[in-house]
């Protein structure tokens, strides 16, 4: 499958007289595992909404495959770009399979019954996230980690190869956090492009292949994790002192 690229070029966004984003350049390509760091109020959510085409920037533009998002029909855009929100509880007890099948809507005509291609895409998405056994479970009865995997499976069923995730490990216990990050790492190795916002620089250091830092509405760094996550930057952003030490397989870890 051909590589896909999402790019923000000179992106600025104002809310009234307040400048939220200014001159942001950021790209997401197939195979990226990109962690976006930033303190609360840095503009991360606004940037995600611009990248998804849900907000129009004041200046600059976002392109997918070199074409402005505004020039893509929404159903076609959804086949390339998917949003994974923080895990939530559905208002109705849909089964896991039914939630994942919602990802097939961009491929269906109004009131069209599920096709064989739809069924195969849903089955593959459940398999990729190792949640086939949960297919008939009510979504409302799942743990937070299981709900998050279900939402990612929905994005995969959508057929999108670029995934934008808003703090995917938020609210999960430690075990579910690590298992979810390992799933994302495997998806990136399969050629998916993944952009996730996170408040955990140690996760970014351990699992991302790129880290970008959004500070006061600007991207102040975008590089491999060891170049971006430094003792000095952590101290400046979060007002804490840490050590960064090498661990197995070329990974590094933070010590608080």
Region 23-51: mean pLDDT is 95
Residue 74 φ then ψ, to 5°? -60, -40
Q: Classify residue 70 by burial, with Cβ atoms within 10 Å: 0-12, 13-18, 19+.
A: exposed
Q: How confident is the model at residue 30 (pLDDT cuts 50, 70, 90)?
A: very high
What's residue 2's pLDDT? 57
Residue 245 φ then ψ, to 5°? -125, 145
Please give the Cα distance from 159 to 82 (Å, whole number): 9
First to last CA, the chain: 42
Please give the Cα distance from 132 to 96 (Å, whole number): 9
215-234 tens-digit pLDDT? 999 999 999 999 999 999 99
Other Cβ atoms closer than 10 A to 37: 26
Every domain range in the chain assigned CATH 3.40.50.300: 5-80+161-255
What's residue 13's pLDDT? 97
| Helix (H), strand (E) counts: the chain | 9, 12
- Residue ranges of E strands in the chain: 5-15, 18-29, 33-37, 59-64, 67-68, 81-84, 162-165, 193-198, 210-215, 218-223, 243-246, 252-255
Region 87-115: mean pLDDT is 82
Please give the Cα distance from 168 to 197 (Å, whole number): 8
On whether the 5-80+161-255 domain is CATH 3.40.50.300, my answer is yes
Pick 237 or 110 by higher pLDDT: 237
Whether pLDDT at 99 is above 90: yes
Look-up: residue for tokens 């999108």? 160
What's residue 228's pLDDT? 96
What's residue 249's pLDDT? 73
Q: How confident is the model at residue 110 (pLDDT cuts 50, 70, 90)?
A: low
- Residue ranges of E strands in 138-233: 162-165, 193-198, 210-215, 218-223
């Amino acid at each position: 499958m051909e590589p896909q690229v999402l790019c923000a070029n000179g992106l600025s966004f104002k809310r009234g007289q307040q400048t939220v984003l200014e001159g942001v350049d950021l790209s997401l390509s197939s195979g990226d595992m990109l962690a976006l760091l930033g303190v609360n109020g840095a503009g991360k959510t606004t940037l995600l909404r611009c990248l998804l085409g849900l907000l129009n920037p004041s200046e600059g533009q976002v392109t997918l495959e070199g074409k402005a998002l505004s020039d893509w029909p929404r159903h076609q855009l959804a086949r390339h770009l998917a949003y994974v929100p923080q895990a939530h509880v559905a208002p109705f007890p849909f089964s896991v399979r039914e939630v994942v099948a919602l990802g097939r809507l961009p491929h269906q005509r109004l009131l069209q019954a599920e096709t064989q291609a739809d069924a195969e895409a849903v089955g593959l998405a459940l398999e990729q996230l190792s949640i086939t056994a949960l297919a008939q479970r009510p979504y409302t009865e799942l743990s937070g980690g299981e709900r998050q995997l279900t939402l990612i499976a929905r994005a995969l069923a959508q057929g999108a190869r670029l995934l934008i995730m808003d703090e995917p490990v938020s609210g999960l216990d430690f075990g579910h956090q690590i298992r979810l990050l390992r799933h994302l790492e495997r998806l990136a190795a399969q050629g998916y492009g993944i952009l996730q916002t996170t408040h955990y620089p140690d996760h970014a250091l351990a699992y991302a292949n790129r880290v970008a830092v959004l500070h006061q509405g600007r991207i102040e760094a975008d590089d491999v994790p060891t170049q971006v996550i430094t003792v000095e930057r952590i101290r400046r952003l979060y007002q804490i002192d840490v050590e960064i030490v090498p661990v197995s397989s070329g990974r590094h870890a933070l010590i608080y």
